[in-house]
Structure 1
Amino acid sequence: MDTQAKSTSKKRITIRSLLEIWLISTKLGLMSFGGPVAHLGYFHEEYIRRRKWMDEQSYADLVALCQFLPGPASSQVGIGIGVIRAGILGGIVSFLGFTIPSVIALIVFAIILQGDEISSAGWIHGLKIVAVSVVAYAILGMSQKLTPDLKRKAIALLALIVTLLWQTAYAQVGIILLSACIGYLIYRQEDEMDGAKIHIPFSRKVAITCLTLFFGLLIILPILREVTSLSWVAMFDSFYRSGSLVFGGGHVVLPLLEREFVSTGWLSHEEFLAGYGVAQAVPGPLFTFAAYVGAIMNGWLGGIVATIAIFLPAFLLVLGTLPFWDRLRSNLKMKGALMGVNAAVVGILISAFYQPIWTSSILKPIDFAFAAILFSMLVYWKLPPWLIVVTGIIGGTLISLF
């Protein structure tokens, strides 16, 4: 009887956790403007500061892990948080909640509003300024924790300079690897990182299966494409490869998608650029631009298939690496490497904060003044993020009138 009661209680807790993840991730999916760096800021505020689902160090380590993996880093962090909270189902629910709002918006735009120039609307500009305040707040909190000494400040400064001067995915991956080596050499004897042990609720066999599936699809899909000559297989293969081979986030995937679909004549250059403008105007991950491309090609069903194909590699990689995560980060030598990587992440975040977030948002003195107001509302007055977003929309609309 006791066993049955415990099972029922566990089931209720799981259902409640899944519902909680769904509501929070959907809220984030509706309000997370500003790109992957801004998304990490929103995640940090909602999951770490407010709800304390993970400790600061574990969140920083998860961000560092996802920076290493190809694919959309912010989406992978969201999936990882969901998995840690409520298992594989939690990861799926977290992903769906964060992604579905922008997928629906982009499919609707593809079918009804493609070509409309809404990206220049005042309220969109206001949301970009909101992203400035949110990212600044996230960087402030993470830098205090991850760069407490001069050595790590120097690593962050090096990462900032390198990623500002060489804005390529290779530069970002290279500086992360270099910082890991520096951290290993400097901090390999220190035992400073005390992040809580994270329970991953599935076995390493599942992880290995996911990694096998990831590489297997990468090899098999191009073969199926040639053998079958089916347009749906070709489309799935193009999106899957684009999602598998991208380091550096959503902006980096755009040239790959353009090469896969514009150069081959599946959609026009004008349609591609119009969709890119719309993608900038909606919240959530920029990888959902695939939903627009798929909808242009094959309607709403094409949008759904394209979304699954481009995000599937990210999901398989997160599930494939998380069970090995705790062992790696608890190893004394690996701790030093992660300390270096975490410091580099701060520098990379500051670099991305300037370009493209600051340069595309703060265009006039009034923009900076409004960003300062939003930052004060968030940091000093401790107002909820949704109120900051609403204020940003209203303020951006009013600014556009002047």
Structure 2
Amino acid sequence: MRSSIRSPLEVFVAFLKLGLTSFGGPVAHIGYFRAEFVENRRWLDEESFVNLVVFCQFLPGPASSKVGIALGLRRAGWWGALAAWVGFTMPSAIALIAFALGAQRWTSLASSGALHGLKIAAVAVVAQAVWAMGKAFCTDRLRLGLAAVAAFVVWAVPGSLGQLGAVALGAAIGCLALRLDPLAPTAQHDCGVSKRTGALLLSLFALLLLALPAISARTDSFVISAVTSMYQAGGLVLGGGHLVLPLVHAGVVPPGWVSNDDFVAGYGAAQAVPGPLFTFAAYLGAVMPSPLGGWTGGLLLLFAIFLPGFFLVVGAIPFWESMRQHIGVRQAAAGINASVVGLLAFALYDPVWTSAIHSVADCAIAVATFTLLVVFKVSPVAVVGIAAVCGWLVP
């Protein structure tokens, strides 16, 4: 049965609090959501929350933001979904755009040791992500092999074509070769989205995914090309978080819109702010050349990278039970996850390592910060701060 619709303002306030305080990446965000909405506010029970998390893991896009959108939709309908996204996303997006503008205004900041420390922090954070996601998604020889092949593909075919080819290969091999156990059926909550509306949103998602690259090629528009790059990244990467790094890099660095150094420094800065990691797109839009750049470019690319996730969550929720039972969907998702681990592993080397590690001292800081993250479980925010200080102190 569908619960009574509540105020979107209530949803916005709850998620704004989380957007200002939720550090630590997608897995930590899910923990914050559970504490806030299952234990404290009691918006839903444990089983319903877990079911929403599993639902969102099936879909491409920003991992924790999809859960937030689904929670907002369940609580207050369409406006609740939008309120949850705005509350959770805007604090970090505003902080990253401000950081980008500050780095452009005070050019000495771009060459400062502290900013170099942020690049080194990115090495440690991405290495931790590769380690953790490899253990989670590459659980047998076939999936480990898929990750290795994906890394080779993006090395052999640089740019977006190699990235998309590796993802497609993972989906195909997953469907053909992976063997997964069936799932037990679960109860489904009515969120007020009909199957007809859901089908329309899913069709719109697919139409934009196919049409935007064609429009970009025909018009040769820089703005459309940048929006296309962000939309593809938001619409193709399963797992969200750090896994979006390779696709975003392939979309903005090879064309020369953002330099390698600016890209890695911004990615390091993104670790130091709360909220979803996909708000890194706001930083990229802010540092891009005209007609993007500044607040306009930042907000446009922020919208572009989150839009496919919104379409998918709201559109797929009426079909969730049949989707989760479809073995082909689950096999393709598992294959894609394994391939994207390979993409992330290659991105750890290029651009993250190559842009940040230039000396033995840099390597030592990277190893030390990685150890703090993996062995001592130090907060990523603290690790970013330590790396920035080390980069400032060590010549």
TM-score between the two structures when normalised by the length of structure 1: 0.68
State how far apart, in whole Å, the 1-side matches of 2:143 and 2:378 are.
Answer: 32
Max Rg structure: 1
Give 2:244's aligned residue. Answer: none
Q: Deviations over 1:103-130 (max 9, x none)?
A: 22334555x44xx253321111111111
Checking the alignment, whether the CA contact within 8 Å between 2:281 and 2:302 is kept in structure 1 is no
Give 1:157's aligned residue. Answer: 148
Give 1:96's aligned residue. Answer: 90
Q: What residue identity is the alignment partner of 2:84?
A: G
Give 2:251's aligned residue. Answer: 252
Q: Deviations over 1:28-79 (max 9, x none)?
A: 5xxxxxxxxxxxxx5235325776688799589749723xxxxxxxxx4454
Checking the alignment, whether the CA contact within 8 Å between 1:160 and 1:347 is kept in structure 2 is yes
Q: Which runs of 5+ in 2 are unaligned?
A: 36-48, 73-80, 233-246, 271-279
Change (3 A) 1:387 1:55: farther
Give 1:43's aligned residue. Answer: 25
Give 1:231's aligned residue. Answer: none
2:16 is aligned, of 12, 19, 40, to 19
Q: What residue identity is the alignment partner of 1:23?
A: L
Across the aligned residues of Structure 1 and Structure 2, the Cα RMSD in angstroms comes to: 4.3
Checking the alignment, whether the CA contact within 8 Å between 2:125 and 2:370 is kept in structure 1 is yes
Change (3 A) 1:14 1:94: closer
2:388 is aligned, of 380, 387, 393, to 393
Checking the alignment, whether the CA contact within 8 Å between 2:56 and 2:66 is kept in structure 1 is no
- Once the two structures are TM-superposed, the CA of residue 176 in structure 1 deviates from its matched residue by 1.0
1:106 maps to 2:100: yes
State how far apart, in whole Å, the 1-side matches of 2:187 and 2:249 are.
Answer: 31
Change (3 A) 1:290 1:135: closer
State how far apart, in whole Å, the 1-side matches of 2:9 and 2:300 are.
Answer: 32
Superposed counterparts of 1:257-296, under 5 Å: 281-282=265-266, 283-284=269-270, 285-286=280-281, 288-293=283-288
Checking the alignment, whether the CA contact within 8 Å between 2:53 and 2:67 is kept in structure 1 is no
Change (3 A) 1:360 1:369: same
- Once the two structures are TM-superposed, the CA of residue 391 in structure 1 deviates from its matched residue by 0.9
Give 1:177's aligned residue. Answer: 168
1:303 maps to 2:294: yes
State how far apart, in whole Å, the 2-side matches of 1:213 and 1:146 are.
Answer: 26
TM-score between the two structures when normalised by the length of structure 2: 0.69
Q: What residue identity is the alignment partner of 1:352?
A: A
Superposed counterparts of 1:5-16, under 5 Å: 14-16=11-13
Give 2:275's aligned residue. Answer: none
Give 1:382's aligned residue. Answer: 377
State how far apart, in whole Å, the 2-side matches of 1:338 and 1:47 are.
Answer: 22
1:82 maps to 2:64: no
More displaced stretch, 247-256 vs 380-389: 247-256
State how far apart, in whole Å, the 2-side matches of 1:48 and 1:213 are.
Answer: 25
State how far apart, in whole Å, the 1-side matches of 2:199 and 2:329 are.
Answer: 21
State how far apart, in whole Å, the 1-side matches of 2:222 and 2:389 are.
Answer: 40
- Once the two structures are TM-superposed, the CA of residue 303 in structure 1 deviates from its matched residue by 3.2
State how far apart, in whole Å, the 2-side matches of 1:306 and 1:184 are.
Answer: 38
Give 1:356's aligned residue. Answer: 351
SS at match of 2:165: helix
Q: What residue identity is the alignment partner of 1:20?
A: K
Checking the alignment, whether the CA contact within 8 Å between 1:214 and 1:313 is kept in structure 2 is no
State how far apart, in whole Å, the 1-side matches of 2:189 and 2:119 are.
Answer: 36
Checking the alignment, whether the CA contact within 8 Å between 2:119 and 2:265 is kept in structure 1 is no
State how far apart, in whole Å, the 1-side matches of 2:211 and 2:127 are.
Answer: 41
Checking the alignment, whether the CA contact within 8 Å between 2:264 and 2:355 is kept in structure 1 is no
Checking the alignment, whether the CA contact within 8 Å between 1:81 and 1:91 is kept in structure 2 is no
State how far apart, in whole Å, the 2-side matches of 1:138 and 1:250 are.
Answer: 17
Checking the alignment, whether the CA contact within 8 Å between 1:57 and 1:195 is kept in structure 2 is no
Change (3 A) 1:250 1:23: same
Checking the alignment, whether the CA contact within 8 Å between 1:156 and 1:346 is kept in structure 2 is yes
Checking the alignment, whether the CA contact within 8 Å between 1:126 and 1:397 is kept in structure 2 is yes
Change (3 A) 1:360 1:256: closer
Give 2:306's aligned residue. Answer: 315
State how far apart, in whole Å, the 1-side matches of 2:310 and 2:26 are.
Answer: 21
Give 1:145's aligned residue. Answer: 136
Change (3 A) 1:195 1:131: farther
SS at match of 2:89: helix
Change (3 A) 1:279 1:239: same
Checking the alignment, whether the CA contact within 8 Å between 1:378 and 1:384 is kept in structure 2 is yes
Q: What residue identity is the alignment partner of 1:348?
A: L
Q: What residue identity is the alignment partner of 1:208?
A: L
Q: Deviations over 1:181-237 (max 9, x none)?
A: 11111125x227799999795626277358649968x989xx9xxxxxxxxxx9xx7
SS at match of 1:363: coil
- Once the two structures are TM-superposed, the CA of residue 146 in structure 1 deviates from its matched residue by 1.0
Q: What is the total number of aligned residue pairs between the two structures?
A: 337
Change (3 A) 1:144 1:106: closer
